[in-house]
Structure 1
Amino acid sequence: MHLINNAIDEIGMTWYQWKLFCLNGFGYAVDSLMLLIQSIIAGSARAEFNPSFHNGLTIAVYVGMLTGALFWGLSADVIGRKYAFNYSLLISSVFCIVAGASPNWIVLGLFVCLSAFGSGGNLVLDTAVFLEYLPSKDQWLVTVLAAWWGLGQLVAGLFAWAFLVPAKWNCSVSGDPCTWNNNAGWRYIWFTSGALILVMSLARVTVIRLRETPKYLIGEGRDEEAVETLQFIANKYHKPCSLTLDQLQACGQFGQGRRASVTAHARSKWSPAEIGIHLKGLYQTRRLGLSTTLIWFSWLLIGLAYPLYNVFLPTYLATRGAALGETSAYLNWRNYALANFCSIPSPILAGLMCRSRIFWGRRGVMIIGALITMAFFFAYTQVRTEAQNLGFTMAISFFLNVYYGTLYAYTPEVLPSAHRGTGNGIAIAFNRLMGIMSAIVATYANTSTPVPIYICAALFAVMALVSAVFPFEPMGSRSS
């Protein structure tokens, strides 16, 4: 692994990595787009279908993302990274388009779940694939990758602004009984989102032909393929690469025992013991075990705080607007789009901060992001004017994603390569599990009150504390 890192550092940044930055960023954008679209269209779809369980779509999308994170995450350590990279967005786009033609609430929930299954594995693989090709001095770009998450949020807000404001596409605005003819706005959002995701999925297999990451190949004992991949990138972009197969084999021959594979896999990759091997690998030492546990706990906390605030933000914004005398759909969705726009520059700032020891590396950036977010959450409950309402919403969105974007990058950086997909997949699965819990909480609690805001503030205080006790700091070191 040391030799592979040396070779990647020697090659440096090329257009290959910059293409991955964009194509992996598509996965980030689709994940956030899917998550917010279902909450945006839920009200219009409910008005048309009159379901007995109003938060069913939220549970459907999180169930799909949970199973997707586990499926694609665990399979990434078994069959490799490139298959999820190539096919996950295509699966998501097909079911996203079909969801727009749903005849009832149950079918809509099914297709939302299946679409989320495709997109749910992207956050597991996007960071891993990008990180495993990055030179060590540029690892901070994994944090910046989260700007694509904000772009997905912005697109969701703009789609809502475009399709839910006109009365001809929204029966709640026109006041007529809801049918496909006068309530097609939410369907157009699904159709448009699916078409956009389809374009992204096609770009992934046409703009670049992803090769399996060298670090995964090393874990498999496939030294020759690892060298070939690095030499291919170096030759294509006219960069030096002095790594040879002899250098890798000098570290230990891979005979019948295939030493690397013995530590990374069970006797059969397809046996239940395979999962146990990867879980054991995440707890090989006490320090690594503590790190893994704290990372999973952090994802659990943000998994509850984020949907309580963001998925149910349209409801809270509407009630705040009513209290402030602003009740138009135009203003509600305008504010929603502006708040989501603020989540684009925040990961870029976080990435720049992660490069400096002034902020105590990744851990310090997460502490700062979590504490400032907590402060703005508490302040938001005292909003009295429309300008304050918009300003504090934008500030929360900005600083929340400083923390979130850094956590996304920190997780794969400190996980060992051979078990990175499993550890990352379980972390995101915990996140999705709490998303399901948030929907249940919202069913029996009043999300139009400030109570969820106070809960979110308390959760971010705990996140800051957990970040302070993380045992590893990736800044200045190379990922395994």
Structure 2
Amino acid sequence: MLTGALFWGLGADIIGRKYAFNLSLLICSIFAIVAGSSPNWIVLGLFVCLSAFGGGGNLVLDTAVFLEYLPSQRQWMVTMMAAWWGIGQLIAGLFAWGFMPNYSCESAETCTYDNNKGWRYVWFASGSLVFVMSILRVTVIRLTETPKYLMGEGKDAEVVATLRKIADKHGRTCSLTIEALEACGVTGTAQERRASVTAHAKKRFSGGEVWTHLKGLYATRRMALSTSLIWFSWLLIGLAYPLYNVFLPSYLASRGAEFGQDSPYITWRNYTLVNFCGIWGPLLAGWMCRQKWFWGRRGTMIIGALLSMTFFFAYTAVRSASQNLGFTCTVNFCLNIYYGTLYAYTPEVLPSAHRGTGNGIAIGLNRIMGIMSAVIATVADTTTPVPIYICAALYALMAIVAALFPFEPFGSRSS
């Protein structure tokens, strides 16, 4: 996922959003299906990596593509789009809840191919669903290149054609003309206009291209501060979110064992319910982002982070099965208020010509800390409250960083 975020993030700034957006999801789905047929751990690891390479890149592009098509007064919808995380995790939880308890062996000594197909069914079902969606992207949505990317390329005619196509599709009028765009300051022949574009190096596929996009993210002091704080926030959430969410089944199983509810059925049922609650966090965050009294995106992130911190600390005092499920659902709801808003805020404040690179590096840093979370969880032991305390402290730090962000997208248009 780290490699995918960096590769497809930079690739979206070089070859365009359209191809990276479609190819990354297709790769993810195909190798997810194949992973279900793996004969051993090594082969399974290979196909999971290849699937994650596509999935990690697609996550970078969802927000960029959606944002670059949205009218400025609808930018808050990017935050609400994060609700689909919860929906996806809910579906995965339902697959696991249905297959794992009924088609899994009880111990390594009794496992055979025939009595341990539950995990295979989860991969087959999940991969097939995503494969269908990736085909629908090409056959039904028929995504064209985003106007903002085309603008960065100096392709004025294609910008106008794309916007008019959207207007015609929805029964609207579009008064924009090529002459109107050129009146904004671009002159000369088409070849000269392409040569004047500063979003790329002289050679697209070179180290200079990477350097051009990195410089664009640090063009001014304020932008440099913004980029650095955003990346630092993704480092923090990259440690806290996987530390809690990836190891959530371990927490649920260990806590369930304390209360006499240690069956796989209960563990995966609770996992499904927790992810159902995670759907609503980004929806609330989207509404909060539109309200002045919540201080826009930054205020929403501060509130989400502080609420997450509070309930993380409270979760360590759980003493019953109902409290275990209730607090876990609440934590997932609150942390998705913060995460969903950061997910949308990042592309909103990054310059469009370098948005893929900046977003890719942000999520790449997130993946690096996700790797570290596995190490910390191993050392700290996920059956104890220690990882929960770590997460709570990290969310407190995230709230402070959110308050320091120099840009607030509320009421303004993204670049």
Which category of TM-score, normalised to the shorter sequence, fits these structures?
over 0.9
Taking structure 1 as reference, are residues 242 and 391 closer, same or farther at Cα in structure 2, changes over 3 Å only? same
2 CA distance for matches of 1:99 and 1:153? 18
2 CA distance for matches of 1:363 and 1:254? 42
2 CA distance for matches of 1:245 and 1:184? 59
Task: Identify the match of residue 219 of structure 2 among 276, 284, 299.
Answer: 284
Structure 2 residue aligned with 1:35: none
Letter paired with 2:294: F
Q: Quote how far apart the aligned CAs of 1:176 are.
A: 6.0
Say yes or no: does 1:379 pair with 2:379.
Answer: no
Equivalent residues of 1:294, 1:466 under 8 A apart: yes
Equivalent residues of 1:66, 1:429 under 8 A apart: yes
Structure 1 unmatched ranges of 5 or more: 1-64
Letter paired with 1:186: W
Letter paired with 2:367: R
Q: Quote how far apart the aligned CAs of 1:257 are.
A: 4.3
1 CA distance for matches of 2:129 and 2:188? 45
Q: Quote how far apart the aligned CAs of 1:444 are.
A: 3.0
Structure 1 residue aligned with 2:300: 365
Letter paired with 2:163: L
Structure 2 residue aligned with 1:246: 179
Taking structure 1 as reference, are residues 254 and 104 closer, same or farther at Cα in structure 2, changes over 3 Å only? farther
Structure 2 residue aligned with 1:423: 358
Q: Quote how far apart the aligned CAs of 1:101 are.
A: 1.0
Secondary structure class of the residue paired with 2:242:
helix
Say yes or no: does 1:402 pair with 2:333.
Answer: no
Secondary structure class of the residue paired with 1:448:
coil
Structure 2 residue aligned with 1:122: 58
Taking structure 1 as reference, are residues 82 and 382 closer, same or farther at Cα in structure 2, changes over 3 Å only? same
Letter paired with 1:170: S
Structure 1 residue aligned with 2:129: 196
Secondary structure class of the residue paired with 2:110:
coil
Taking structure 1 as reference, are residues 217 and 313 closer, same or farther at Cα in structure 2, changes over 3 Å only? same
2 CA distance for matches of 1:399 and 1:413? 22
Q: Quote how far apart the aligned CAs of 1:155 are.
A: 1.0
Alignment of 1:206-355 (within 5 A): 206-251=139-184, 252-255=186-189, 256-258=191-193, 261-355=196-290
Structure 1 residue aligned with 2:381: 446
Structure 2 residue aligned with 1:455: 390
1:397-443 Cα deviation digits (max 9, x unpaired): 10010000000000000000000000000000000111111122233
Secondary structure class of the residue paired with 1:172:
coil
Structure 1 residue aligned with 2:323: 388
1 CA distance for matches of 2:414 and 2:253? 45
Letter paired with 1:381: T
Identical-pair percentage: 71
Q: Quote how far apart the aligned CAs of 1:305 are.
A: 0.4
Say yes or no: does 1:178 pair with 2:111.
Answer: yes
2 CA distance for matches of 1:143 and 1:413? 10
Structure 1 residue aligned with 2:70: 134
1 CA distance for matches of 2:213 and 2:344? 20
Q: Quote how far apart the aligned CAs of 1:329 are.
A: 1.7
Structure 2 residue aligned with 1:82: 18
Normalising by structure 1, report the TM-score: 0.84
Number of equivalent positions: 413
Q: Quote how far apart the aligned CAs of 1:332 are.
A: 1.3
2 CA distance for matches of 1:322 and 1:350? 34
Equivalent residues of 1:221, 1:254 under 8 A apart: no
Letter paired with 1:430: L
Q: Quote how far apart the aligned CAs of 1:260 are.
A: 7.6
1:64-88 Cα deviation digits (max 9, x unpaired): x111111110011111000012211
2 CA distance for matches of 1:380 and 1:85? 38
Equivalent residues of 1:219, 1:260 under 8 A apart: no
2 CA distance for matches of 1:382 and 1:431? 29
Structure 2 residue aligned with 1:187: 120
Normalising by structure 2, report the TM-score: 0.97
